[in-house]
A and B are shown apart, each in its own frame.
Chain A
Amino acid sequence: MAFLDIKNVSKSYEKLTVLHDINIAVEEGEFLVLVGPSGCGKSTLLNMIAGLEEITSGSMTIKGQEMNGVHPSKRNIAMVFQSYALYPNMTVADNIAFGLEMHGVPKAERLKAVQDVSGMLQIEPLLDRKPSQLSGGQRQRVAMGRALVRNPDVFLFDEPLSNLDAKLRVDMRTEIKKLHQDLGSTIVYVTHDQIEAMTLSTRIAVMNGGHIQQLGTPKEIYDNPANIFVASFMGSPSMNIFPAIIREIESNLVGVEISIGAGAETKVLKFAPGTRINLQNFKDRKVLLGIRPEAITDPDGADKAAQIIELIDNTVEVTEPAGSDTYVISRLGGQEAVARMRADVIVTPGEKAVFALNMDRVVIFDPQTEERIN
């Protein structure tokens, strides 16, 4: 049995079901990120792990112990909230020690624990201040201190970085990751930011509409998305997805026909040899082709290890220099397609350029079910 085991868990409010049959097994020391758009049920799931919301059906165990009906304070969990939820009337030290005090830990031990934690988070100079006298980043640290001091089995983070400015967010992200590496603690972390999910997690659960769309390592999620939702949600800029038709070029060589530019020009692109696709079902049928921006490059910037690179002559519509890269937008399959080229690439809007498509990296979706088919 897993360290934190969520089995067939559902949640409904009267007639409205917000979580459908969720199954997640989190091993000890894992960093699981629940990611999805707002309203997907990720925070509800986290609150259910914390015991702040009841489970409608299913079971949840921590260390093999059934948690259904167990009070939040008895689950040995700690939670960091988006608003930090520091007690405004107490000093930083009292905030950190409050949980210990409620659990009847003697004063001397509490002081020692507060000292240890504040040393680890470098907040000793702040211990006598009130939360209103702290900056956003400092409040964030205190909130983490309050969680750490309890030495819980599972840490729960509810969008802890979304109230910070961009630079601080990146710093704190690194810090959380470092903390996880040092302590080896088990963490469940909710965010709507897919970059946070990719960088922090050991595994990601992508959620939408109360369902888990895909559960896997960041690499699996990014490279092998299970459906169109996962493909377009993860990654920035998001994956290019456009209509195409499956063609059999010759036996054992399958390709895909796409339209190029604004006109009627089309081209058949060969798939890499390993690409498996059910020809009986999909031959000469419309599918959706997904390709990430970094798999469309200028010919010199293409991945040398790729098995098949297809070159396309296409009109450049817009260029967006982003410093480290230049995003080049052209039209493929009748839709805008973003290509990620080197920063110093020479392309001019309105003129033709050569685009190199890494066919090893394409994914194909059934337009009806939106599920992946290759």
Chain B
Amino acid sequence: MASITQDTAINTGRITRALIYLFLFLFALYYLLPFGIMVLNSVKPLDEILSGNMVAFPDRWTIEPWLKAWSTAQVGIEPTGLAPYFWNSIKVVIPAVIISTLLGAFNGYILTKWRFKGDTILFGLMLFSCFIPFQIVLIPMARILGITGLAGSTSGLIFVHIVYGIGFTTLYFRNYYKAIPNELIMAAQIDGAGFFRIFYRIMLPVSGPIIVVCVIWQFTNIWNDFLFGASFTDFDSQPMTVALNNLVSSSTGVKEYNVHFAGAIIAALPTLLVYVLAGRYFVRGLMAGSVKG
């Protein structure tokens, strides 16, 4: 075995290998630079930023900007910090992700295992919804939220994100379930399991990888959304992204760059965390459809 791999492997000398790693290291450094600068400046007193080099290490380390960004910074007209908006975002993201993922799973299950007349057209239309730009739906959506009395509320924003997410989650689940043999469903039918029982006893338990893909995708999109958040919420229900914008644009005199940097990092942390925790399943889930299992 060993001799075979030696014959077929690309022959790389020690020096070539060192060069490759050097380049990879440099690229990684280059890629991390902006984030590094953000972190550095978020732990630096403001006068150091204003007086000198932004790239330098701080003379005096401080977590003051972080605390300020979180709890006391001026956001819009209130000096509340980002904290309430962070919880606003959480309150939107969690139900929206869960509901849109479940609906996607359900749609995928029906579209692959309970085929009906016109199902391909229906699926095509749902797929089409993935490609509708956000701007187009703004006004009709505002109207619907107005009629249903959801305008300006957290539930309204949840509703919008669910509607917008269903297209993607349906696409993911439908393609994943397509690879699951129909005989499995037939066997379960003969065994006496009904429509819902087959869904939660047979289909959902094998959906792990694709659920992770959907959750990451939906979490990132909804957390990072600015347009819907800015359009469909009031001051007290604004999500993190909108608050961050308000934090950066509202000033009581001098611009507190260190607080802005800290706020931006706080806003980005949850998506980062989700990737770190579930990233490897993401790749696995994306490839799951192509490998017969």
Whether chain B is bound by chain A comes out as yes
A interface, CB within 8 angstroms of B: 47, 50-52, 71-73, 77-79, 81-83, 85, 87-89, 98-99, 102-103, 132, 146
Q: Given A88-B206, A89-B205, A89-B206, are A50 and B190 neighbors across the interface (CB < 8 Å)?
A: yes
With CB as the reference atom, state the residue of chain B lying closest to A132: B293
B206–A99 touching, CB < 8 Å:
no
Tell me the bound Cα distance from A78 to B181 in angstroms.
18
Tell me the bound Cα distance from A52 to B182 in angstroms.
11
A9 → B minimal CB distance (Å): 19
Residues of A within 8 A of B186 (CB): 47, 50, 52, 72, 79, 81, 85
B183–A99 touching, CB < 8 Å:
no
With CB as the reference atom, state the residue of chain A lying closest to B202: A87
Q: Does B184 contact A (CB under 8 A)?
A: yes
* 24 A-B residue pairings within 8 Å (CB atoms): A47-B186, A51-B190, A72-B186, A72-B190, A73-B191, A77-B190, A78-B190, A79-B186, A81-B186, A81-B187, A82-B183, A83-B183, A87-B187, A87-B188, A87-B201, A87-B202, A88-B293, A98-B188, A99-B190, A99-B192, A102-B192, A102-B197, A132-B293, A146-B187
A139 → B minimal CB distance (Å): 13
SS of B interface (majority): helix
Total chain B interface residues with beta-carbon distance under 8 A = 17
Q: What 3 pairs between A and B have smallest CB-CB spacing?
A: A102-B192, A73-B192, A99-B191
B190-212 vs A, Cβ < 8 Å mask (1 yes, 0 no): 11110001000110011000000
Residues of B within 8 A of A88 (CB): 206, 293
B94-136 vs A, Cβ < 8 Å mask (1 yes, 0 no): 0000000000000000000000000000000000000000000
Q: A52-B190, A89-B206 are in contact. List 6 more A-B contacts (CB 8 A).
A: A72-B186, A72-B190, A79-B190, A85-B186, A87-B184, A99-B192
With CB as the reference atom, state the residue of chain B lying closest to A156: B190
With CB as the reference atom, state the residue of chain B lying closest to A102: B192
Q: Does B189 contact A (CB under 8 A)?
A: yes
Tell me the bound Cα distance from A72 to B193 in angstroms.
10
Tell me the bound Cα distance from A116 to B13 in angstroms.
63
A203 → B minimal CB distance (Å): 24
Residues of B within 8 A of A98 (CB): 188, 191, 193, 201
B202–A79 touching, CB < 8 Å:
no
Contacts between chains A and B (CB distance < 8 A), count: 57
Tell me the bound Cα distance from A115 to B64 in angstroms.
67
A93 → B minimal CB distance (Å): 14
Residues of B within 8 A of A102 (CB): 191-193, 197
B interface, CB within 8 angstroms of A: 181, 183-184, 186-193, 197, 201-202, 205-206, 293
B39 → A minimal CB distance (Å): 43
With CB as the reference atom, state the residue of chain A lying closest to B204: A89
Tell me the bound Cα distance from A103 to B183 in angstroms.
20
With CB as the reference atom, state the residue of chain B lying closest to A81: B183
With CB as the reference atom, state the residue of chain B lying closest to A104: B192
With CB as the reference atom, state the residue of chain A lying closest to B180: A88
Q: Given A81-B183, A82-B183, A87-B184, are A73 and B205 neighbors across the interface (CB < 8 Å)?
A: no
A323 → B minimal CB distance (Å): 36
Q: Given A87-B202, A89-B202, A89-B205, are A73 and B190 neighbors across the interface (CB < 8 Å)?
A: yes
Residues of A within 8 A of B206 (CB): 88-89
Tell me the bound Cα distance from A50 to B193 in angstroms.
15
Residues of A within 8 A of B197 (CB): 102
Residues of A within 8 A of B201 (CB): 87, 98
Residues of B within 8 A of A79 (CB): 186-187, 190
With CB as the reference atom, state the residue of chain A lying closest to B193: A102
B192–A85 touching, CB < 8 Å:
no
A92 → B minimal CB distance (Å): 14
With CB as the reference atom, state the residue of chain B lying closest to A77: B190
Tell me the bound Cα distance from A52 to B185 in angstroms.
10
Residues of B within 8 A of A73 (CB): 189-193
A317 → B minimal CB distance (Å): 44
A52–B189 touching, CB < 8 Å:
yes
Residues of B within 8 A of A47 (CB): 186
Tell me the bound Cα distance from A146 to B193 in angstroms.
14
With CB as the reference atom, state the residue of chain A lying closest to B197: A102
A83 → B minimal CB distance (Å): 5
B98 → A minimal CB distance (Å): 21
Residues of A within 8 A of B293 (CB): 88, 132
Residues of B within 8 A of A50 (CB): 186, 190
For B184, give its contact among A71, A85, A103 (CB under 8 Å). A85
Tell me the bound Cα distance from A52 to B183 in angstroms.
10
A69 → B minimal CB distance (Å): 15
With CB as the reference atom, state the residue of chain A lying closest to B186: A52
For A83, give its contact among B181, B189, B191 (CB under 8 Å). B181
B73 → A minimal CB distance (Å): 49
Tell me the bound Cα distance from A47 to B184 in angstroms.
14
A56 → B minimal CB distance (Å): 17
* Residue among B183, B191, B193, B197 having the largest count of chain A Cβ atoms under 10 Å: B191
Tell me the bound Cα distance from A150 to B188 in angstroms.
13
Tell me the bound Cα distance from A352 to B3 in angstroms.
55
B120 → A minimal CB distance (Å): 16
Tell me the bound Cα distance from A244 to B237 in angstroms.
92
Tell me the bound Cα distance from A50 to B206 in angstroms.
26
With CB as the reference atom, state the residue of chain A lying closest to B187: A85
Tell me the bound Cα distance from A132 to B293 in angstroms.
9
Residues of A within 8 A of B183 (CB): 81-83, 85
A152 → B minimal CB distance (Å): 9
With CB as the reference atom, state the residue of chain A lying closest to B182: A85
* Residue among B186, B187, B201, B206 having the largest count of chain A Cβ atoms under 10 Å: B187
Residues of A within 8 A of B202 (CB): 87, 89
